[in-house]
Amino acid sequence: MDSNGNSSTPKKASGAAPGPAVTPLRQSPKVGSASTTDCSDEKSMASFVLKSTLSPEAPVFVPRHFRIPPPQEVAEPCSPCPSSPQSQDANQYAMLELMSFIDDVTLCPAEFDSKIEDVTSILSGITDAGGLSQVVDTIFQQGLKEANFRYSGARLCNHLGSNLQIRGVEEDFTSMLLDRCHKECVKRNDLGSGDFDDAYLRGLLSFIAELFSQMVFLREDHS
């Protein structure tokens, strides 16, 4: 208000209206400040490494009161053992080896001397009288059928009669062979009736003749 009591209107400031407020721009970092910081960090790390007493070859730190448990021995896994003749049925294994020997000496009689000891040792592993009887029957049947085996078969019987020992079996190889020969001779009535062919008769007589030519039978039961 003026001195006369009239209200006075304030005067507007002359000139252009004020514009919006302008936010000042941030100052860009000085060039080289970041690289300077990195270099200082690298220098600090290098200084720390040079002053450090740590070593990658130092022993493992163990507290004073820490007890180290003793190392436990771990058993190595056992590799499967190859199957041996002892793990198989002894009689079956002996028969397989006997048949292999028979085949070899049938084709090549000269191999008899080089293989007779091995097959005798294997046949000694037979466990009962049944296995020994099977050996006798096998040799006898092959002697009847295979003309090329008869001579070697008689030699085999002669050798086994003197050298084959079966533990726990009272009857020996020669006794069982005599029993088998006796049973075949008892069939002479059937042999003449035509139940057996001529090849069987010739084989029987030829093999028994070979046996008697190489073996001496001293048995009162069949004298």
Tokens of 69: 């448990």
Mapping DSSP to helix (H, G, I), strand (E, B) and coil, where does residue 102 land? helix
| pLDDT at position 123 | 94
Please provide the DSSP assignment of 110-125 as one string: GGHHHHHHHHHHHHTT
Cα–Cα dist 109/119, whole Å:
15
- The residues of the chain scoring below 50 in pLDDT are 12-16, 31, 77-85, 87-88, 218-223
What's CA 123's distance to the chain center, in Å?
A: 27
What pLDDT, on the 0 to 100 scale, is given for residue 220?
44
Q: Extract the tokens encoding 116.
A: 């007779």
Residue boundaries of the structural domains of the chain: 86-217
pLDDT at 151: 94
**Cβ count within 10 A of residue 93:** 17
- Please tell me the predicted confidence (pLDDT) of residue 199: 82
pLDDT of amino acid 78: 46
CATH of 86-217, one of 3.30.450.20, 1.10.150.80, 3.10.129.10, 1.25.40.180: 1.25.40.180
Distance CA 168, CA 106 (A): 32
This prediction's pTM: 0.57
Give, as one character, the DSSP assignment of residue 175: H
Cβ atoms of 154 and 203 within 8 Å: the answer is: no
The Cα–Cα gap between 11 and 128 comes to: 141
Q: Quick one: which of 206, 184, 208, 207 has its CA closest to 196? A: 184
Residue type, 136: V
